[in-house]
Structure 1
Amino acid sequence: MHIIVAIAFILIIGSMGSALYFMMHDRGKTKRMVWSLATRVGLSISLFLFILIAHWLGWIPYSQVPIGR
């Protein structure tokens, strides 16, 4: 589980880096920066849903911390 989340974070940061690179070098002539940022949003939403479903299926255990403390 930790490896999947770490890989997803690396992909998200890589997508942000490529968007920055395209922003600096393309100067608005192509849509590569927009596609990189759209990919980042898609990866972020997918990661959130994966963590939510993994918790619901019991792959991520409940922390047993009492609510309100």
Structure 2
Amino acid sequence: MTYLALAAFAAILASLGAALYFMLKGGKSDTDNAPRAGRMAKALAFRIGFSVLLFICILVGWKLGYLHPTGIPAGK
């Protein structure tokens, strides 16, 4: 489960980096901006998908008992 979470975080960061690259990539005319914006939007959509998938995997892992919350116990 730890490896899945690390892979999801890596995918989130890679997608965010790809969106940053497409956003900063220079274009000289307005016709160049449309494909770049589409690729940036697709990278950001993948990032949202990976984030939701990671959240669902953490919830499922907690419900199945694979993940245990640690930290300050309630009531102390």
TM superposition score normalised by structure 1: 0.86
Distance (whole Å) between structure 2 residues aligned to residue 62 and residue 19 of structure 1: 33
Return 5+ residue gaps in structure 2 as ranges: 28-32
Q: Which has the higher contact order (CA 8 A, sep 6+)?
A: 2
SS in 2 for 1:29: helix
Change (3 A) 1:64 1:20: closer
Find runs of 4+ consecutive structure 1 residues off by over 4 angstroms.
none
Change (3 A) 1:20 1:55: same
The equivalent position to 2:68 in structure 1, one of 58, 61, 66, is 61
Percent sequence identity over aligned pairs? 38
TM superposition score normalised by structure 2: 0.79
CA RMSD of aligned residues (A): 1.8
Q: Which amino acid in 1 is paired with 2:12?
A: I
Distance (whole Å) between structure 2 residues aligned to residue 4 and residue 51 of structure 1: 10
Q: Kindly tell me the number of residue pairs found equivalent between the two proteins.
A: 69
